[in-house]
Every structure is written in structure tokens, then in C-alpha cells.
Structure 1
């Protein structure tokens, strides 16, 4: 959010300089260039052909170029306006890059993955305020979403949408149930978690036909330790087997795919719709593993 504000301020400042240059300073430079070239031509007429500049066309062009050249402060403001404007528009309304900082979404996303986030799929939002101005499509269970962390909105988080408004989400004994229906899961080969230097149980979950891999660590107990106080906490019941929550209107229940190594809605609550940034859809770079480049579920 701070970067968006900085970029917005740069757009305003460079835009003012660009407009001032087009309307005021550039016409002044053109008049000065025309006057300088006219003075040069008068001097050439006064000295006559014998002493005239043999390279008059080149000299005339050099004089014009010197007079038309932008001063340094305009060169470093107005000249950058189109570039900064394009970056601002693309980043705010089309696609924004992020870097995965933690292992909460392993095995789907790894630390060091650089991802792209679709900014218009769920509706266009104004930069800085994040106010939605178009409807877009609704979030779906299974979407991987970047959002502003509810407890500190200057921080961006990435998790998977598990619960929609009105859903009852139960994560009991490490089994996920949505509205009373167990989410189908299929065992996969154990996954070696490089961050924890150990193996974790791996499963493929099926969220309404959308399949993705998740990890469970048998050594970690199923109950939630250290849940925060958060809005609508009364919607959740914590017990020795985990948590059961009813998602309030206008909010979502998010979980990481690395279920026993993810600080998510089980710990800090629901994500309001106004905190949604966009849908993650593509890994565009991982410098330690180029094979990671591509789309993901």
C-alpha cells in the first residue's frame, strides 16, 4: 500500500511537470530556438558569402537542438511521466507482481516464487483506498488470493479461499468439512519440506472439482494454539480437534496449503471483501528453480 501511494504521488508530480512542459516550457523553448536560428541567419547575411559558415545547416540544427533541450529538472520529471503512468495503471488495474516470502502455501507456492496477481477479475478497485468500482466475478472456493492482512493492512498475505460468506467451515482432526460435507482428499506421496527439513503427509483436496495439494504434519496437534481476538470471533468454536466457524457476510475464510505451517483464518479471523487485492494465477520467476515458471492450481 505504501508503494502504491508513492507511485501515485510520483504520477501526480511528474504529470504536473509533463503538462507544464507541453503547455508552457516547450512553446517557450521553440520560440527561443526560432529566435536563435533567425539571429544566426541574420549574422550570416551580414558577413557575406566570403566569411559565412560553411556548415551553416549543421550549425543551425545544433543551435535549435540546444535551445529545445529540456532543463535537467524537466528531464527527470516530465520525461518519466508516461513510463510511471503506464506502470501505475498496469499495477493498479491489470496485474501486479508479488514475491512469496514464506512457506505457508507449500507445495503450491514456494519461498522465492515471483507471482502475478490479476487485479480486475474480482472487480476493479481504486488504488490506495481499495474501493471497488466494478462488480467483477465473485470469489470461488479454491482461488488463491492476495489480500491485505486484516490486523495490519500495510502487509499483503496470500492464502486459498476455503469459506465463502455464510459457509460453515470445520477443520477437525485435520479434516476439512464445508457446510457439513467432507472435502474429498486423496493421498499423495510424502512431501519433503525443505524449510522444515522433514517429510510431511501430502493430500490432494477437491474443492468443488478444483484440485490442489495440501500438507499435514502428523507431529503437530490438530488444535489451534494462540488464536487472536478478531471481529466475529463468536462465529468460531475452538476445541481439542480444531475449529468450526461460520463465515460472516462480506467476508472469507482463508487457509494456507501448508496446513500445519500457516497463520491463517484459524488464528486471526476472517478477511473482509474490501481487503481483497486480486487472484494469484502465474509464477513468472523463481531464480533458484526455473522449472517453477508457469500456472498453478
Structure 2
């Protein structure tokens, strides 16, 4: 953080140098533009803005807008009020201000004495729109942002069609990795399928501003999908790129554009947003035994309304849809076997169905321990785990060191290489990190373990592993609207009982 506080004013020194002539016309010395920190102080004195603006120049992303406002104010000091002139001052200050010094004889106008020209209606609307966009962008980046729930992975805690407010200040807002991006969209431009909404000309390192607290166990957390760094434009994040590689092989995925489209990379802040419950914290040991989660040897009791997959056997009759609706059973249906149904059920729904006269038996799906699912992280035969019986696994903590060998490596390979940027190779049975033989590794970041409340219908950490701290976006706190996608307005589309409720 100290390094960034030093670096940021240095970055603003370069465009300020090109104001040499303007500084002199304002009665200052031209060489004052060359001194980092001090030149910004003088700049604010010239345009007569309060010194608290200086504090805002220390905050990434906000400082860009503040500096733009300073350039606009400097242009006004030389009688430049048109939108085109101010655009040039903001976007091309290194060309525009020296050009003014050479081509323009305008004198410096004291901000306290100059008369502001009357704006046209078009100009007033344009300024208002620009201000609104900038203000909304700052709010959604650093304070609070609206999200929607597109999938059922958090049923019944969060429902498909819930609209949430997510607090960015709960854990501290992240500085955007890609500040040059189209406002109010995520990674793709509106009305396009594959056109990026961002530019990678500037990519900032991970930095998080101070927040109200830290991630706690069982928080409902929004984060960037860790396995979404590389995606197929054909499948996007609906099917993980790494799953495609395991199924079809790298050569086919990269060469067959008809079936897989282009393979593209996305920066951290432009990966898909997921919401899950944080089950494991840095330094925890996690194990799942017959669907029950144990943290450091103790069963975890989270506040979520968990669902599991059940087989329901009837006397041959179907269950009345009205009963299913009343019990809020939204996933599942009849199988090919007469009298057999598969439903995702909470404990309450399961017990209610069991009391129906037509229901003969209810069995939970449970994959026994020792049966390996090849799609379960870390995708190694040395770890015969599945969704219902998993681990134990250690969740890395910043500064902690683990012993490395070829058996353990699959657990932490992606952390070492992809998340923490090391060169990792295995040669002749030995592990090399950054060219040196390694038998241990010390983690540079904290990591978290995320799981959906709809345990048997959730792509979560069991399938793609740890969530790095630099992927954490915020905490889900409030449902402000809830719409049932399967109903009409006349049929109860608005879930009134969920509006203005807090997320637990």
C-alpha cells in the first residue's frame, strides 16, 4: 500500500509536466510541474480547489476522475469551455496544453473572477449525464453494486430471480484491474456476443482499500469465478475451459473453432461473478463426510437452507403440482422408471413429502467414499473424492508453508502458477519453481472455500478449488426485488415476502 501511495502521484507527474507554460502564465514557476507530490499541490492552488481534493488523488480509480476534473478546470482558466476543448484537455493533455501555449495568446483567468458562460440545454444535459455516469461508476465500484441470481446453486437461501445489493466496503473495495472499460457492463459490450467491454492498455495490480471487516465463515460472498481466466467463446463460463480440455484435449479445443469458438483470456475483474457461501477460511482444514461439512474436525452449521438430491418413490401417482409449489420444490421431476421421481429437497420439504399417502419411500443420493469423480478438484487419481465425500484438504493462508511432492502438487499447482504468478515445471520427478528445485512453498495470498447451499446442484470449490483473496468482490447483504421466472405478473411473479430482506 505504501508503494502505491508513492507511485500514484508519480504517475500524475508526467501529464502535469506538459502544463509548464500554463503554470507560468498563472504566476508560478514552470519547474514546479516536475516535482512529484508538490506539483499537484501547486496545481490545486492555481485552479483554487480545496486541499481535500489532494486526498482523493491518493485513491486509485477515483484519482483518475479527480485529475480529469483538474485538467478541465485548468482549461477553463484559459477560456476553454466547449465540450470538444475540454475533451482534448482530458484525453490528450500532453498535446493540447503545449499546443495552447504555442498557438494561443489567452491570458490566465483567475477562477474567482472569471465569468462562466451560460450553457445550452444540450450542454447541460451532456454534463449531467457525464456526472451521473462517473458518480454511478464510483458508487458501484467502491460502495455497493446490484447483482441478480441467475442459477439455483444457492436455493433456497437465494432464489433465481433475486436482485441483490452487494456491499463492496464490507471487505474493502478492489481497485479495478482494467480501469478502461465501458460503464455498467461486465466483460462484453451490449448487443454483442464476444466483443470485450474493456481495454487492457492499462492493467493495475491487485490492491484492496480498507473495508469494514473481513470475510467470515458462512458469509454469502460474491467473487470472480477462479476458473474463468480462460474461456471458450462458444461455451463462455457455462462449461469451464478446463473441463473442455479434460474432455476433448487441448489440441481440439484450440483448433476446432466451429465447436469451441475462440479461446480468450479475461483479467480477474472481468471474470464471471459467482455467489456462494464461504465455508472454509484461510488456514482451515475441510472435509465432507456423507454430505456433512467438517471444519477443523467439527461439523459446520451454516445459516443457509441447504438442498440435497433425493429419489422419491410413489405408488405410481404423480405429486400434485400445487403441493410442489406450496413446498417450494422447483427442481426435479419424473424419471424413466414408473413411480420414481428425483427432486432437490430441503429437510422440511423432504419431511412433508414423506407424510403424503402416495409416497412410499424417499432416498437421498449419496456417493460413497472412495468413488472418484474425475470432475472433482484436484482431478488426480491420488485423491478419490466426490461431491459427498471429500478431503480432508488444507485451505492456504498467506505466509503459511506446505511441503511439496508430486502427490501433493495437484492441490496447489494452480495457486503456484496461475494465481501467484510463478514459473512451475516438473522435470525428472522433481518440482521446479522459478527455475529452482522446490520441496516446499509459502503462499503469498489468503484463499477461501466456497460452496452453494443447493449442495448437489452447485458448481463450487469442490469442482474448481480455492478462491484467491484478489477474486473476492463483496458481501451479499440485501434483496431489494425478487421475481419468479416461472410465473406471470398475474400469477404471483413478484415474491413480495422476499423484498427488502437481508441475506443470511
Tell me the TM-score normalized by structure 2.
0.41
Question: Which residue does the alignment assign to 1:227?
Answer: 375
Q: 1:264 aligned to 2:469?
A: no
Question: Which residue does the alignment assign to 2:209?
Answer: 133
Q: 1:178 aligns with which of 295, 305, 315?
A: 295
Show CA shifts across 1:167-225 (max 9, x none): 11111211111111123589999964313356434259xxxxxxxxxxxx823636673
Show CA shifts across 1:11-51 (max 9, x none): 699969965885544499xxxxxxxxxxxxxxxxxxxxxxx
**Conserved? CA contact 1:97–1:116, under 8 Å:** yes
4+ residue runs of structure 1 moved beyond 6 angstroms?
Answer: 10-14, 185-190
Counterparts in 2 of 1:98-247, with a 5 A limit? 98-128=147-177, 129=204, 131-134=207-210, 136-152=212-228, 153=268, 154-184=271-301, 192-197=328-333, 199-203=343-347, 218-219=364-365, 221=367, 225-227=373-375, 237-239=383-385, 242-244=389-391, 245-247=393-395
Provide the C-alpha distance between the structure 2 equivalents of 1:237 and 1:265, rounded to a whole number of angstroms.
Answer: 15
Question: Which residue does the alignment assign to 1:53?
Answer: none
Provide the C-alpha distance between the structure 2 equivalents of 1:175 and 1:269, rounded to a whole number of angstroms.
Answer: 18
RMSD between superposed Cα atoms in Å: 3.8
Residue 97 of structure 1: how far off its partner (Å): 0.4
Q: 2:449 aligns with which of 250, 253, 259?
A: 253
For the residue of structure 1 that corresponds to 2:129, the secondary structure is helix
Q: 1:188 to 1:281 in 2, by over 3 A?
A: closer
For the residue of structure 1 that corresponds to 2:140, the secondary structure is helix
Question: Which residue does the alignment assign to 2:436?
Answer: none
**Conserved? CA contact 1:17–1:78, under 8 Å:** no
Residue 125 of structure 1: how far off its partner (Å): 2.1
For the residue of structure 2 that corresponds to 1:92, the secondary structure is helix
Q: 1:229 to 1:218 in 2, by over 3 A?
A: closer
Residue 228 of structure 1: how far off its partner (Å): 6.0
Aligned length: 236
For the residue of structure 2 that corresponds to 1:134, the secondary structure is coil
Show CA shifts across 1:128-164 (max 9, x none): 4552132642211110000000111420000000000
For the residue of structure 1 that corresponds to 2:470, the secondary structure is helix
Provide the C-alpha distance between the structure 1 equivalents of 2:69 and 2:366, rounded to a whole number of angstroms.
Answer: 55
Provide the C-alpha distance between the structure 2 equivalents of 1:220 and 1:111, rounded to a whole number of angstroms.
Answer: 25
User: Higher strand share goes to which structure?
Assistant: 1
Tell me the TM-score normalized by structure 1.
0.66
Show CA shifts across 1:73-92 (max 9, x none): x4564332221122012111
Which structure 1 segments of 5+ residues have no match?
Answer: 1-6, 29-66, 205-216
Q: 1:96 aligned to 2:232?
A: no
Indicate the structure whose relative CO is greater, using CA pairs within 8 Å and at least 6 residues apart: 1
